Amino acid sequence: MSNISTILSVIIMAFSSAAFASDEIALELEYKNILGNELQILVPSDFKSISSLAEFSTHSAESAPDLLYANKDKDVLLSFTYAGKRGKIKSGDLLRFKALMKMVYSNMYKGAKWHRDGVEKTTNTEVGYFEVVAQDKGIKKYNLIFFMPVNGRFVIAKFIAPSAQEDELRSTAWQIMRSVNIPQLNE
């Protein structure tokens, strides 16, 4: 009888916790080698690469990312953009780049709600980041903007989603950022 009670308790707790679970959306992620195999990162498996600006009119030719992924509704995006020319990145450059980026984005996103910013160590590199909710063309959007040195220049990545989905997608965005791996550093 004791075993039956224990089993029933476990089943009840499982159903109770499922009923009260967060509204988090679980996106299936897969590792991709991107940007000429310079960067390995998790990408939602149902996201498709958008290669034509005609497919996604938000970006002008000058500001178009080097690589853009989107969900089927094209309202959740993951983009990658090279910043600057190749050169030698020295110790401390990530913090200087982060300070510059914070100034640029603060000017771009007046009235934005900044959650946090910092630098985190991933598998084999450091990644700077900003988490912010800002207006874009009249729509509030959740942004996890992260950047890292890759082969002598910085890559800026952005995970962007409607702010209404912020709570559901935040952990996915962070999981993507924390998966950053620079294959050449593993050699």
Q: How high is the pLDDT of residue 180?
A: 96
Q: How high is the pLDDT of residue 187?
A: 63
Phi, psi (deg, nearest 5) at residue 95: -65, -40
Written as tens digits, the pLDDT of the chain (187 aa) is 444 443 434 333 333 333 334 455 668 999 999 999 999 999 999 999 987 554 454 544 446 899 999 999 999 999 999 998 888 888 889 999 999 999 999 998 888 999 999 999 998 999 999 999 998 888 899 999 999 999 899 999 999 999 999 999 999 999 999 999 998 776 6
What's the fold here for domain 25-186? Protein Transport Mog1p; Chain A (3.40.1000)
DSSP lists the bridge partners of residue 32 as: 41
- The CA distance from 148 to 120, in Å, is 10
- The CA distance from 50 to 45, in Å, is 14
What are the domain boundaries of the chain? 25-186
The gap between the terminal CA atoms of the chain, to the nearest Å, is: 59
Q: How high is the pLDDT of residue 159?
A: 97
What is 21-48 written as a DSSP string?
Answer: --------EEEEEETTTTEEEEEETT-E
Q: How high is the pLDDT of residue 183?
A: 85
Q: Three-state SS for 174?
A: helix
Burial of 143 (0-12, 13-18, 19+ CB in 10 A): buried
Q: How high is the pLDDT of residue 111?
A: 87
The residue to which tokens 């002598």 are assigned:
152
Q: How high is the pLDDT of residue 92?
A: 86
